[in-house]
Copies of this chain bind each other. A is one copy, B any other.
Amino acid sequence: MDNFKYYNPTKVLFGADTHLLVGEEVKKYADKILLHFGGGSIKSSGLYQQVTDSLKAAGVAYVELGGVQPNPRLSLVYEGIKLCKQENIRFILAVGGGSVIDSAKAIAMGVEFSGDVWDLYSGDKETDRALPVATILTIPAAGSECSSGSVISNESTGEKLAYGGDFIRPVFSILNPELCYTLPKYQMACGVSDMIAHAMERYFTNTPDVDYTDRILEASIRSIIHTAPLLLKNMQNYDAWCNIMWAGSMVHNGILGAGREEDWGSHDIEHQLSAVYDIAHGAGLSIIFPAWMRYVYGEHVNRFVQFAMRVWDVDLSFESPEAIILEGIRRMEAFFSSLGLPVRLSQLDIDETNFGMMAKRVTARGPVGRLEQLGEQDVLAIYRLAL
């Protein structure tokens, strides 16, 4: 196990009706805030009305900035920074999913940073200051509600990059599973795929002797696998949403990766797929992760056997560890398929036309992944395995 530092001061308010507490919680920090959100869904669902009523009742003034899109854009971040400065706003409330929260985090850093906020994402500059951010989560998937990271897309360069630190963990996050009832099933499935990927990016590690975190990661994935089909049957299953929503936060709040080297190669490889073909991140992951596994397992047989047996209950003859591993991957793909997710690029009519360019872009800043460090040719091979 590696040395580590863990610090997560996000206060979680979890359960039915907790979003009605938002006004009084915000009031502890600020009298005037930026209310940041995405499209119109929070208005049609009535959530916008409830949130603004709660803010007004607590005497909190708000300035609105909606319009966050999936893969949140740098241009809107700039707009938010300008707005906060103009209006002298010192607190941001994000109401939405990971994109809205990541956009809010970027604005929060940008307001406190003297230079161009993109220089943080591009790796040219650093900061450790940000406005406080709070969230009301409406899409369990990205885990940004308790995480230290954010991912922003720069429309002008075509880049999608991450930045963060403990200083941008939200000060509080409200997780009310009822707010998920109106999500489309496909979006639930994509969220589930993203959560499982967050656990797997931590699970596949070179760090030896990590029995405890191995087991709680396995338990996390098993619980998600157990619960997702319940939502497929009934998207208003409160307890199933509780499970999924909390698991989604736990697998990405950092505590399950404590003391382990993490991989993140599949995420990097997927980001290009989403960028070029505009497919949902979770759907890209359900395609890329199995391909990545087939590409790298050879040098890590014991770990992949453990994964197949403990997570997917594979119980084949030990004479062939490879058969155990491949059966695990097959079961994982069958699970994703049962949720309506793609597991092959060909299902999305994607051929190898752009693979060369994509592999080059993925590795433009050097190899990706840590279990195996993957160069351009490796990434190309993984895209091909995903066909």
Contact of A15 among B4, B215, B255 (CB under 8 A): B4
Known: A15-B3, A219-B219, A220-B216. A226 touches B243 (CB 8 A): no
Residues of B within 8 A of A3 (CB): 14-18
Q: How far is the CA of A62 from the CA of B259 in the complex (A)?
A: 32
Min CB gap A141→B, angstroms: 16
Tell me the bound Cα distance from A242 to B5 in angstroms. Answer: 14
Query: Which chain B residue has the least Cβ–Cβ distance from A255?
Result: B255
CB distance from A147 to the nearest CB of B (A): 15
Q: What's the least CB distance linking A206 to chain B, in Å? A: 14
**Which chain B residues lie closer than 8 Å to A212 at the CB level?**
220, 223, 227, 243, 246-247, 250
**What copy number does this chain have within its complex?**
2
Q: How far is the CB of A329 from chain B (nearest CB, A)?
A: 22
Given contacts A12-B6, A14-B258, A16-B3, contact A215 B209 (CB under 8 A): no
Q: Which residues of B contact A243 (CB under 8 A)?
A: 1, 209, 211-212
Report which of B6, B11, B220, B259 forms a contact with A11, defined as CB distance below 8 A.
B6
Give chain B residues whose Cβ lies under 8 Å from the Cβ of A258: 12, 14, 246
Closest to A213 in B: B246
What is A's interface to B at a CB cutoff of 8 Å? 1-18, 208-209, 211-216, 218-220, 222-223, 226-227, 239-240, 242-243, 246-247, 250, 255, 258-259
